[in-house]
Amino acid sequence: MWYVIIGIFILLIIMFVFLQIAFSIVMPHRKSLLKTKEFEIKKDPILFEFYDEKIAKTVTIKSRFNYDLSLYYFLQKEKSNKFVVVAHGHTYTHHESIKYARMMFEERFNVIIFDQRYHGNSGGNNTTLGYFEKYDLYDIISLIYKEFGEDILLGTYGESMGSATILMEQEIDKRVKFCISDCGYSDFKKFLYEKLSKYHLPKFSYYFINFFVKFIASFSMDDLTPIKSIKDSNIPILFIHGKQDSLIDYHHTLDMYEEYNGQKQLFLAQNNATHAFSYFSDTEEYKENVKSFLKEYVNEKI
């Protein structure tokens, strides 16, 4: 009898651990806008000079899932038909995208950055690592085309979870002409297997965690597969990753690059480029790779 009670107690503890992991994925502790601003200023003290000087307007739209999405526009004074939409990573805010906005703005792009659902000023009860976010991005792109015309050239740019968002979105949106993917995962199931192994948890733990994720957020982690989303695509994609990334190993980006059959370019950042730090760790090489990609595959389309 006692063995049964002890066994049930241990099982409940294990299930509670799996539930907490699921919550950490879809309802994580989020950084506030104040904190992300502080973090970004530490990385680059003059970053917000660009933000404050160049921001043209802030727009709030209603998502198809009935929560608010906050958008931030940086528009060229002289007319340009080049646009890029930038998506940030897990637990962060649109402040993470400012460095890319500044770089792309210098390349004569109009830039729209936004708070993904459940982050920053946007609404939503949870995050889905790109699954529902891809539809938010699709609707943001629809708004941009409606506002600026059908003859624009538009690409997307994503960091970490934002990478998954843009790569899964382009599969359902032929209007996107290029993507820049920085430190994204290729397959979330594979990524989680790696994390479970690191903490000496068996692979079957994934299925219990996924059960709780489905219950909390109404999607399956099995569907988080950017590497499959690019399988039949042919738009130019720049794949970027830091070689010292200990959160999402750079092999995820390398796998996507090798799998992709379209026009592509790869940049693996050095100089202790940890997760989401490739731009700051290897800034000049980073910018040069983005410029060469745009020159080779994007600007020639204009």
Q: What is the band of 7 on the pLDDT scale with cuts at 50, 70, 90?
A: confident
Residue 55 pLDDT grade (very low, low, confident, very high; cuts 50, 70, 90) = very high
Where does the pLDDT of residue 8 fall: very low under 50, low under 70, confident under 90, or very high at 90 and above?
A: confident
CB 227 within 8 A of CB 255: yes
Q: What is the CATH number of domain 31-187+224-301?
A: 3.40.50.1820
Query: What is the pLDDT, as a whole number, of residue 66?
Result: 98
pTM above threshold 0.85: yes
pLDDT in tens, 238-278: 999 999 999 999 999 999 999 999 999 999 999 999 999 99
The domain ranges of the chain are 1-30+189-218, 31-187+224-301
Q: How confident is the model at residue 1 (pLDDT cuts 50, 70, 90)?
A: low
302 pLDDT more than 60: no
73-76 contacts at long range (C-beta below 8 A, 24 or more positions apart): 73/110, 73/111, 73/112, 74/101, 74/105, 74/110, 74/111, 74/112, 74/113, 75/110, 76/105, 76/108, 76/109, 76/110
Confidence of residue 5 (pLDDT cuts 50, 70, 90): confident
Q: Residues 161-189: pLDDT tens digits?
A: 999 999 999 999 999 999 999 999 999 99
